[in-house]
Amino acid sequence: MREWNFARLLDQFRKYRDTTTTQSPRSDGANKITQRSDIEERFKWKLEDIYTSDEMWRADFEKVKGMIPRISEWQGKLAESGASLHACFQHRDDTSILFQKLYLYAHLKLDEDNRNSTYQSMTDEVAALSTRYAEASSYITPEIMQISDERMEAMYSEHEPLTLYRHHLDEMRRMRQHILSPEEERLMALAGNVTRGPSQVFRMIDDADLQFGEVTDDEGNRIGLTKQRYYELLEAKKQEVRREASETFMNGYKVFLNTLGASLSASVYKDLFYARARKYESCLAASLDGDNIPVGTYRNLTEAVSNNLAVLHRYVSLRRKILGLDQIYSYDMYVPLVPDAKIKIKYDEAVERILAGLWPLGEEYHDDLKQAFESRWIDVYETEGKGSGAYSWGTFATHPYVLMNYNNTLDNMFTLAHEMGHAMHSFYSKKHQPYVYSGHSIFTAEVASTANEALLMHYMLDRSESDEQKAYLLSYQLQSVVGTFFTQVMYSTFEDQIHRDVEQGKPLSQEQFRQTYREIFERFWGTELKLPEMFDISCLRIPHFYRAFYVYQYATSFAASATIAERLLRGDDEQQAKYLNFLKAGESKYPIDILKDAGVDMTTPEPVEAVVRLFGQLLDQLEELLVKKS
């Protein structure tokens, strides 16, 4: 829920891109994985902008420890005056800002090399301290719930600065029925260290313990397999290369099969615990209520897609025919349909194209984005031990940071544009909103990232040099819609089902997860696409599942951004102004209302159905080009 809790505070600025769409490693040889010391400084993020040393971090850590006891000064006094409540909020905000800064630095340093025990310890320290603070401040929400509406209005009149928090207070108080007693809230806060356990276990397996061994690439070289190399090998021309890479990759997870099943089960039971403790009718309702999202919005998404799966089956059939396969497997879904037109883009060139492609967003956005690229916000290349995938993360006290694992592919360029969309969204929200409203919901965050991708794709298609290159880009765009929209709806359907299972008292296990996932996969993709044996283990390696009902927002955001991008490309100045205001709005309104202000109503199925139509149109264009070529 959206109450002021530190589980949310510590990662509200972090926006993961699904690592299943982030591809390619950097390597200086067949078996040598690049070390961090091999990378030029300009390609590393500048964490000195947060703290110039670990000692500076430690000093702020001790400062926060000293700030925690002060929160009790206002206990039992919040209704006494508007000034008292305002002072409590100010202290809470000041402490939270510092907490986030501490956690950001420790976590980014850890992501430089997840084997580094120093930063593992620092990350754990600040997370544990946040639980202490959450316990100390747990009285705030229950006390606020006891204030009558009449008294609250009087407090605004008594102390005008308190009106800054009116929307925040309204947001808290609308969920009164889900707030517990002060002692119960204290116990809920104490549970934080325990309930973080499942995701921490998964993270250590996924980023630190996994070993994949060696595979053969398209040229016959034996190479060490990494996560990033795996996605590059899925684009290999030879099916046997794709098969070996996929089997080797899945075997890495198979070693931890039962542990992964247990950790995901524990995470789902955690969701059930919080939902029932707070008196929600379901885990889904509990999750959506935090952003005041109607359950119908979730149902609009899943039902609209479920009713239009024929276009996805048509896509599978086209891929099988163009690739000349008797049987198409899940690992054949990433290989380019026009491999000879494959585009390689070095990092500096990618930056230039992104800046050019995002001109429809206007001069202000362009200039700020250019400054971001020049100021070492980004950690560019994969190195041994580095965190996988890509994300944007920042705090109110810092500029955003972006983690990449860049290796000169088209997908890497679009991932960079995606993450910089998140970064600029955070930058503008922080610049134009007070701290209490400077974050943004995932429901709106993914609009900013996928809009960038849509605009960049239009730029690339408009400048394609041949029918083959245009077909390649269309193929990529179709795959992007599959990854960001259809796949996320499939994941959402899986999440919904396993939570319904546990709500109905059904047992959870790795076998049950895999069976459920396979059934949903086969319904989504149809009879032509085969999921090999053991490949249903994929459902146990998705980090997003440790944040319940997170992934559906990729799909809803994609639908919203597609509508916005289409208008921007028409030169709609009003839409450009609305969109920049959207980026600056932070959490000053509910996410649904912020999107309505931007011109998109996600309470209706129309934006979702528009994406299905767009996918069909792109498929028509690709088929026409490929038939023309043949």
Q: Which residues are catalytic?
A: 419
Tokens of 558: 């994609």
Say how many C-beta atoms besides its own lie within 10 A of residue 501's C-beta. 16
DSSP codes of every residue in 1-24: --SS-HHHHTTTT-EEEPGGG---
Say how many C-beta atoms besides its own lie within 10 A of residue 630's C-beta. 6
Q: Is 606 exposed, middle or buried (0-12, 13-18, 19+ CB in 10 A)?
A: middle
8 Å CB contact between 384 and 35: yes
Count the residues in the chain.
Answer: 630
Pairwise CA distance, residues 357 & 286, whole Å: 39
Q: Answer positive or negative: Cα dihedral of 250, 256, 262, 264.
A: negative
Tokens of 401: 């940071």
Do the bridges between strand 390-393 and strand 401-403 make them parallel or antiparallel, or are there none, so unpaired? Answer: antiparallel
Closest CA to 623 of 322, 305, 210, 362: 322
Cα 165 off chain centre by: 27
Residues 6+ apart with CB under 8 A from 124: none
Closest CA to 210 of 223, 227, 185: 227
- Contacts made by residues 219-226, CB under 8 angstroms, sequence distance 24+: 221/30, 222/30, 222/31, 223/27, 223/30, 223/31, 224/30, 224/31, 224/33, 225/249, 225/252, 226/25, 226/33, 226/382
Looking up tokens 């046997």 gives: 240
Pairwise CA distance, residues 328 & 323, whole Å: 9
H/E element, 240: helix 239-254
HSE toward the beta carbon, residue 554, CA cutoff 13 A:
24
